[in-house]
Each structure stands twice: as C-alpha cells, then as structure tokens.
C-alpha cells in the first residue's frame, strides 16, 4: 500500500507531499488541472521510463519518492526485498527516483541503488495502474497461472509440487552428469585398475631406493671390503693375539690385585664391558660376511633400482611417496565404483518422484481447469455490468500430456484472453488498445479476485471513459467492493463514482506570478460536497446540486455499510 507520495520539481508541481490510507481514494478536478501528473509520478515509482521533459522549468532534477507498506499475504514482496539485501522495518520500504535534466537518473529502493528492471520486477507485486499496459500485472502471462491458483486456493498444493519438482530436477541433473561421464568413468576405472596393479605388484617401500644404492656401492668395493673384514675379524678375535684374547688376559691378571685396591675392581669391570662390546662387533661383522656378494645379487639390485626409477618417472612421484600415491588411486577407484552405485539409486528415486509429480499434476490439473472455467464465467459477468455487454473474458487453460513438458508450476499453462465483440477472435489482454477497456477488464477481474490478489494497490486511470448512468454506478460499486481489501486510487470526472470515495483530493492549478502551479487539496466533508456538486453541474453550483451531492455521498455510505 502506498502511504506517502513526495513529488518535487515535477512538471508544474514545485513540491508536494501526500499521505494516503486504505480504502478508495479519488482524484478529481478540471481537465488539465494536473491529475495525470500524479499518475505519472506513480508510474515512475512502478518502473516507468523517465524523461527530462518532466523536470520543472528552472530545476536541476525532478524527484519522486514513495513509502510503501507491505501488506499481509505479500510474501513475494518480502522475499524479493530480502533477496536484494534490503532491510525493511515495520513492514515499510521507500522507493526514490531522480530524473535529472541531463544525464542518467537514479533509482533507490530502501536506500540502495537499483536498476530499472529490478524496480519493475518488484513493483509488479505491489501496484497496478490500469491505464498503462506496462504497469498491469494481469498483462504478464507468466503470472496468470498463479492467479488461477490463488483463485482456487491451490497455493499450498502448487508450492508442494514446485518443491518436489525442484528436488526431481536436482537429482536429474546429478544423474545426467553421471550418465554423461559413464564412458569416461569406465575408461578411467580400467586405467586406475592397471596403475594400482602395477604399483601394488612393485611394492616399493619408503627408503628402499636409498638402501639399494648403498648396497650397490658396497658391492662395487666387495674385494677391498673382504680384506678389511678379514683383517678386522683376525685382529679382534680370530688370532692368538687378538683384542679379545689380550683383554681377557689383562682382566685376569688385574683381578689378582682387586683385594688391595677397590679402584681395580671398577677398572676390571670397564674392561670387561669393552670386551663384550668387541664381541658384539665381531658378531655383527660376521653377519656382514654372510651377505650375498654374488654378481647375480648385484644384477638383481640394479634391476630393482631400474624398476623404481621407471615408476618415479612414469607417475612423477618420488619413490618414498609411491605407496601414498597408490592409496590415492585406490580412493579414486572407490569413488568411481560408488558413482555407478549412485546412478542406480538415483534411477529409483527419480522414478518415485516422477510418479508423485504425475499424481500431483493430475489432481492440480482437474482443479485448475474447474477454477479457470469459474473465473472466466464470473469475470465475464462482471464485465457485462461495465458497459461491455457483448465482451467475454476467456481463461485459456491447457495441459501438457507428457512428463518431459512439465514445469515447476505443473502441467498447465494459463492465459487470459478478451473477446471484445461476438465473432471476433479472443486476444491476449496486452493487445487491448483502449485504456478504458483495459481499466474495465482489470476492474472486472480484480473484483472476482478481491480476496486473493497479492497486489495491494490499484490505480484506475480511465475507468470512467465512455460510460455513465447505471454503468457508472456498477463501476463505482465494484471499485468500492475492491477497496474493502485493497487500496484503490481512481481518477474520475463522474460524481457517481467520486461519491463512493473514502478520501477525495481535488486537483487544480493556478498562475502565480509568471509560473503555473498545480495544487492538490485533501477535501473535508463540506469541500467534498462542493466538489461533487461541481462534477454534477459544472462551475455553477446551486443549492439543489449541493443537496444532490450530499444525498449521493450519504447514499453511497449507506450502500457500502
């Protein structure tokens, strides 16, 4: 709902601030007084294109600002603002537009700079201006199905279908991705099996390459090592004068003096430890002497080193890391095997979801077709009351037969059509040329949707064009009925419509100095009677026209109550 409208340096308005409430608000005044300026300002807030021509003479830029209240049920507006990152307190947000005399204008929603497309998308859920095709939500075919759903009370069922459909499509994308990779996955799996087999067969251990290199170096000096080993064993143990033999003799000789000197016992113990260490070394040296130093062993080691070097170069991994690399290949192989299993599970899940969607779509389709027929009948009946006796509104509801043609909204497509006269082909609402016809079509449909339309504000710009008498009374009654649930603005020259207003503004203009200025005045009870009397009888207001005006106001209130 539009609660505040601020206009500055816009056409012949220098500065203006208006406050609006719920119900039906009428703007009246002489032709050319400036009523269209107010509507044009509202159009800018809804995403209309601005032009430097609207900037007041002598001003740098025109500014239009509106404060809107988010009504209960306008969840789409809340979601849109939240998605834009716009904070709204007390369920209010502000739209501000600047139209400079030169250069680009700016659009602010909730204080943040936004594009014209963003403003249009948001405000389609907030307000409809019937006199301009671009600002009428009913002309957007993509919204017709949701209108039928709201009319039939199918929002919950439609939402459930959409969520299930999103789940289905997410799983299908995953399944399609896996299926598209099946050949590549098979090739990769074969390659992984080959590499893993090669690495597991080789069984390269960390440190093995360095150990082989060391052993080969030792084998290259095997003869010298043999001589040194023999010399060492002889000197340490084998010969009669070996280190072990001489240490044994020394220890025995010194023990004879232990009784005379306690320090000798300690020294003997140390020498005995040294003899034991030498014996251990002799044992280790003999083990070295047992190693295979044959040419075959050397060839075997060299072949093993060649194998390890090949694996290093092939996989571009150091020998010490080949084991870890093989483990990573095993993990990848496991993932690919799991992917094949996942494909099977996805097929089962998709089949289940498809069955559920087909069942839900069938139920939704039956209810939508019934709702479309009912909406079509009721809207046409309303249209006949608005001096379009031969016109007919069609709600074209078509159902796709195959599951692959389903969308997140279900199997149906809906489009509103108008047949202005018998014998003519029904046309989309956007093809309606007359602003007055469009206003009445909009009013007829809005009347039927009065309890279910998410748009909170309606502006009827040309709804009284070419009508009068009983038809005008029907228009007024419909406007009043719609205003019980929605905020309604109506620009009218007919007293029979204006008398139903909850609030009435009079638009006038005057020349001050050498400047023309538009004025908008909120009318109190007495001023309303005078304005409606003027609308009845022209500039000459008599007591009779005043009395008639008062009776019309009183009668409309009694009827509305």
Q: What is the pLDDT of residues 422-436, one digit of tens each?
A: 888 898 887 775 667
- Whole-number pLDDT of residue 346: 87
- Whole-number pLDDT of residue 228: 79
- Whole-number pLDDT of residue 291: 59
- Whole-number pLDDT of residue 551: 92
What is the pLDDT of the chain when averaged over all its residues?
A: 87
**Average pLDDT, stretch 275-296?**
77
- Whole-number pLDDT of residue 223: 67
Which stretch of DSSP H or E encloses residue 79?
Answer: helix 75-83
Other C-beta atoms within 10 Å of 273: how many?
10
- Whole-number pLDDT of residue 468: 79
Q: How confident is the model at residue 222 (pLDDT cuts 50, 70, 90)?
A: low
Of 521, 518, 535, nearest in space to 41 by CA:
518
- Whole-number pLDDT of residue 441: 85
- Whole-number pLDDT of residue 537: 80
Q: Above 80 in pLDDT, residue 95? A: yes
How far lies 308's CA from each of 34, 311, 441, in Å? 92, 5, 85
- Whole-number pLDDT of residue 403: 93
Strands 127-129 and 457-460: parallel
- Whole-number pLDDT of residue 289: 61
Q: Above 80 in pLDDT, residue 226? A: no
Q: Above 60 in pLDDT, residue 77? A: yes
- Whole-number pLDDT of residue 290: 56
Domains and CATH numbers, the chain: 1-126+455-561 (3.40.50.300), 187-334 (no CATH)
Q: Above 70 in pLDDT, residue 359? A: yes
DSSP state of 400: -
Residue 42's SS3 state is helix
- Whole-number pLDDT of residue 460: 86
């Amino acid at each position: 709902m539009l609660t505040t409208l601020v206009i500055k340096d816009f056409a012949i308005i220098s500065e203006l601030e208006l406050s609006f409430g719920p119900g039906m608000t009428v703007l009246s005044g002489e032709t050319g007084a400036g009523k269209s300026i107010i509507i044009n300002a509202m159009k800018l807030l809804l995403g209309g294109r601005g032009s430097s021509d609207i900037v007041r003479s002598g001003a740098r830029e025109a500014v239009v600002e509106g404060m809107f209240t988010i009504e209960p049920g306008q969840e789409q507006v809340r979601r849109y603002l939240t998605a834009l990152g716009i904070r709204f307190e007390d369920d209010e947000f502000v739209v501000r537009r600047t139209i400079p005399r030169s250069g680009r204008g700016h659009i602010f929603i909730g204080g943040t700079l936004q594009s014209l497309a963003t403003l249009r998308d948001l405000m389609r859920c907030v307000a409809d201006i019937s006199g301009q095709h671009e600002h009428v939500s009913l002309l957007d075919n993509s919204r017709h199905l949701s209108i039928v759903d709201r009319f039939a009370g199918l929002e919950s069922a439609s939402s459930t279908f959409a969520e299930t459909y999103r789940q289905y499509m997410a799983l299908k994308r995953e399944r399609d991705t896996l299926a598209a990779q099946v050949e590549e996955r098979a090739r990769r799996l074969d390659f992984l099996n080959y590499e893993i087999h090669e690495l597991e067969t080789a069984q390269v251990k960390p440190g093995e390459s360095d150990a082989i290199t060391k052993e080969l170096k030792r084998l290259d000096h095997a003869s010298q090592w043999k001589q040194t080993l023999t010399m060492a064993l002889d000197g340490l143990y084998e010969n009669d004068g070996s280190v072990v033999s001489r240490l044994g003799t020394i220890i025995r000789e010194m023990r004879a003096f232990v009784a005379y000197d306690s320090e000798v016992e300690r020294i003997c113990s140390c020498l005995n430890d040294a003899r034991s260490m030498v014996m251990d070394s002799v044992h280790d040296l003999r083990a070295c002497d047992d190693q295979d130093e044959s040419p075959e062993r050397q060839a075997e080691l060299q072949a093993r080193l060649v194998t390890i070097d090949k694996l290093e170069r092939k996989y571009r991994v150091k020998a010490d890391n080949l084991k870890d690399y093989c483990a990573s290949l095993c993990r990848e192989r496991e993932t690919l095997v799991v992917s094949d299993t996942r494909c099977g599970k996805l097929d089962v899940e998709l089949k289940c979801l498809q069955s559920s969607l087909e069942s839900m779509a069938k139920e939704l389709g039956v209810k939508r077709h019934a709702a479309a027929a009912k909406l079509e009948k009721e809207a046409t009946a309303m249209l006949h009351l608005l001096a379009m006796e031969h016109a007919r509104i069609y709600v074209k509801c078509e159902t796709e037969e195959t599951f692959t043609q389903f969308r997140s909204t279900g199997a149906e497509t809906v489009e509103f059509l108008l047949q202005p006269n018998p014998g003519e082909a029904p046309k989309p609402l956007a093809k309606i040329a007359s602003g007055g016809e469009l206003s009445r079509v909009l009013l007829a449909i809005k009347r039927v949707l009065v309890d279910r339309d998410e748009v909170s504000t309606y502006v009827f710009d040309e709804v009284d064009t070419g009508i009068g008498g009983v038809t005008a009374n029907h228009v007024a009654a419909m406007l009043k009925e719609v205003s019980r649930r929605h905020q309604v603005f109506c620009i009218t020259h007919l007293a029979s419509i204006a008398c139903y207003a909850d609030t009435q503004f009079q638009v006038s203009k005057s020349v001050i100095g050498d400047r023309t200025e538009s004025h908008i005045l909120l009318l109190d009870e007495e001023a309303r009677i005078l304005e409606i009397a003027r609308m009845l009888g022209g500039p000459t207001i008599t007591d009779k026209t005043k009395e008639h005006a008062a009776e019309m106001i009183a009668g409309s209130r009694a009827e509305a109550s």
